[in-house]
Structure 1
Amino acid sequence: MFLPIVLITLSALLHSVNAAGCRVYLNGNLTQTHAPLFLKQVDNHYHLLQPSGPFFEWRRAETIVAGCSPAKNTLTNTGTDLATISCIENQEFNLVGSSKRISVSDISCSSAVSGAIQPSNKLCANGAGHLYDVGFSIKGKEFIKLFQVCYNATKSSTIYSEHQILGKAISHAQINNNRPAFKLGGITSSVRLASVYTQRHQQERFTTLLGSSAQAAKYINSSSYLAKGHLTPDGDAVLDSWAGSTYFFINAAPEWQVVNGGNWLRVENAARKVASQLDDTVHVYSGVYDILRLPDKNGNPVSVSLGDDGTVEVPKWLWKVVVHQPSGKVCQQRKKQSN
């Protein structure tokens, strides 16, 4: 009886190895300088592949697409924007169309993958803004959406954003403390958005709004200023390239730095914790409400904006709603912008 049992056990083990396919860990296997996007093609549409917990996983011989964004960024292996690869085993793939066997860590873009913005004609917030997709642009292909923003271009003010947190993978996210500069991404504004977030400009702007430099100094000083507050935060992304794509001005609202690094950060961490505990994807809506009003030197309330023409409005409230669609569970948080 002993021999048949051993044979069955070995047979099961060999079957498991042969069926294992490929696993590419977010941390440890993607060691190339400029990792590509991993995409799934459905007809002529491309979608971002989502990791299964700490890794991407594919069956043996399953094909996927590696791509680079923006348009002039290409794969160093092929010189093209996109390439189809087929899983062999572990982290080894075949470059479709050739007999070349390649490690996933050798599949690289010519420069760092970066995001892009795709405007739409769809209205949002009862007509107060338009929807913009934020994601990745590959030459000649349909835009690949990562998240969405409702933005008022006339006022250069963001209203809300919508994105997902991948609960199975968020605790295994790639961590990169290098924060890129915020970008325009093709949007236009009547003011220089990078300039209005400087403390010097805010001191001048608050002096004008509140009627005196002394009154302005109560709010804008070395320890108090308005920062670029993410609506869709970089910390909710599981890949560096996804996190980098959150650094657009249309995904930011003026937020007191003490709130940005304090209570609001705790709200963001709580949303990630909910997704992780559910071990499932949650939909997250983050936005602003009302305009902050501060007393001028005579005690009269003044609506606060960073643009000299009244654009880049400073919100009174920040809010976040986390929705788990399968269970119908909803979590809500709002924080007042008091300094």
Structure 2
Amino acid sequence: MEEEELTDIVEIPRSGNINNAGCSLSLRNDLKNAKMPLLITPGTTLFYPYDENGFINVNFNRAIELVCTRGFANPDQPTTTITFAFCIRGQMFNITNSSMDLGTVACTGWNDVTVANLSNSCNGGTKFLDVGFQLAPMRFASVYQVCFNEEYEVTRYVQHTLYKGANNYQNSERPNKFLKAGFFGGEELDVIYTKQTQRVLLNRILGQDSTKYFNDNNYYLSKGHLAAKADFVYASQQRTTFLYINTAPQWQSFNGGNWLAVENGLRQWVDTKKRDLLCWTGVYGVTSLTGEMMTDVELFLYEDNDKHFHLPIPKLFFRVAVEPISKLGVVLVGVNNPHVSLDVIKRSYVLCEDVSHKISYINWKRLDLKNGYSYACEVNEFRKVVTHLPTFDVRGLLV
């Protein structure tokens, strides 16, 4: 987070007599209410900052702005959407003239997620979208941005920031379902992603029984997050990641294998280095399998009534990570197909020189085909092939 956002923050010991020194709350241990309000820096559209150890620190008598888009349950103000919490000490705040533990404040329901159209465009997409929360008519708290192509129903990339302290994310429950957020037409995506529906369509695409490509454990296509739930510390932010525009079809063995290692490794990097990372996470190409005629056939998850295919199953997932001060960056790439051979991968899936031998912060089994064969690239070499990435300055490899 920007330095100017931290002017009201003081470092406070977690134990001992803090008296009127201020308030300090652990995101993970003190703020466990499932329907917490949004915590906003007063008068801004910025989520309230936390330190590198996952604590919210507030000076005595300074405020956090609390937002419940559906009104407050505690305090009992169901028609009020915005109020202020003034620090008393420890976890106690003055809220509507009552002393309250901030961890007990609750909304009447989950805060409504908003997807807003941005005026600027993005390469390879027909919509550049901002996902977050409408605090008030002219106030929008952004969580991440999406470059989405409506014609092909594919998200080119999602951009977000991994902040230092991100490994101290709140442990929140997953929503019951992903939301379409006004996209994907009349397609029943919850049905499309079922294992049975996947098999039926791939049988038709391949012209043969696709059973050998599936099992109920890890050989099926899951809703692969681009911006991961655990990349965001606040539970409210985490819920915004459960939109279909933040996903792409991903083989589960890869999702829970090397792709998970990429996500975990970058969070560990910001936690260890105490520095932020700017991230662009996306997909590239359409993967294929050998069909009935012994030729490669591209794979999709949906066929419409006019026999047009949608929801392509990507060849590759990638994440670009750039440290904004040094402008050093890396691209971590994974093959989204556990059934493709190593020869085919080297011929058709490796887009640039592999520099993974220089990368030590990802604990992956990168040569394991089941877990998703993976490699690393210099950013400027990668973008010579993947041209839809936005413009940003990178001056070397993040090692």
TM-score by length of 2: 0.74
Q: Secondary structure at the match of 2:41?
A: strand
Contact 2:125 2:155 (8 Å CA) reproduced:
no
Shift of residue 114 of structure 1?
4.9
- Name the structure 1 match of 2:102: 104
Contact 2:127 2:149 (8 Å CA) reproduced:
yes
Contact 1:156 1:189 (8 Å CA) reproduced:
no
Shift of residue 135 of structure 1?
1.4
> What amino acid is the match of 1:148?
Q
Q: Secondary structure at the match of 2:147?
A: strand
Q: Secondary structure at the match of 1:297?
A: coil
Shift of residue 139 of structure 1?
5.0
Contact 2:18 2:89 (8 Å CA) reproduced:
no
Residue by residue over 1:8-42, the C-alpha shift from the partner in whole angstroms, topping out at 9 and shown as x without a partner, is: xxxxxxxx946621112112322434211100134
> What amino acid is the match of 2:317?
L
- Name the structure 1 match of 2:284: 289
The separation in 2 between residues aligned to 1:222 and 1:171, in whole angstroms, is 30
Which shows bigger deviation, 113-122 or 53-62?
113-122
The separation in 2 between residues aligned to 1:75 and 1:142, in whole angstroms, is 23
Which shows bigger deviation, 52-61 or 26-35?
26-35
1:242-257 alignment runs, 5 A limit: 242-257=237-252
Q: In the superposition, relative to structure 1, how do residues 295 and 284 fare at CA in structure 2: closer, same or farther (>3 Å)? A: same
Which shows bigger deviation, 50-59 or 75-84?
75-84
The separation in 2 between residues aligned to 1:270 and 1:28, in whole angstroms, is 23
Contact 1:114 1:245 (8 Å CA) reproduced:
no
> What amino acid is the match of 1:162?
Q
Contact 2:130 2:144 (8 Å CA) reproduced:
yes
Contact 2:180 2:244 (8 Å CA) reproduced:
yes
Is residue 219 from structure 1 mapped to residue 213 from structure 2 by the alignment? Answer: yes
Paired positions, count: 314
- Name the structure 2 match of 1:47: 46
Q: In the superposition, relative to structure 1, how do residues 222 and 171 fare at CA in structure 2: closer, same or farther (>3 Å)? A: closer
Q: Secondary structure at the match of 1:205?
A: helix
Is residue 161 from structure 1 mapped to residue 158 from structure 2 by the alignment? Answer: yes
- Name the structure 1 match of 2:334: 335
C-alpha RMSD of matched pairs (Å): 2.0
- Name the structure 2 match of 1:61: 61
Identity of aligned residues (%): 26
- Name the structure 1 match of 2:135: 138
- Name the structure 1 match of 2:117: 119
Contact 1:165 1:272 (8 Å CA) reproduced:
yes
- Name the structure 2 match of 1:7: none
The separation in 1 between residues aligned to 2:108 and 2:294, in whole angstroms, is 57
- Name the structure 2 match of 1:311: 310
Residue by residue over 1:234-282, the C-alpha shift from the partner in whole angstroms, topping out at 9 and shown as x without a partner, is: 1111122221211100000000010001111111111111111211221
TM-score by length of 1: 0.86
> What amino acid is the match of 2:223?
K
Q: In the superposition, relative to structure 1, how do residues 334 and 206 fare at CA in structure 2: closer, same or farther (>3 Å)? A: same
Which of structures 1 and 2 has the bigger CA Rg? 1
Shift of residue 121 of structure 1?
4.1
Mind listing any 5+ residue stretches in structure 1 that lack a counterpart?
1-15
> What amino acid is the match of 2:312?
E
The separation in 1 between residues aligned to 2:103 and 2:322, in whole angstroms, is 35
Q: In the superposition, relative to structure 1, how do residues 103 and 205 fare at CA in structure 2: closer, same or farther (>3 Å)? A: same
Mind listing any 5+ residue stretches in structure 2 that lack a counterpart?
1-16, 339-399
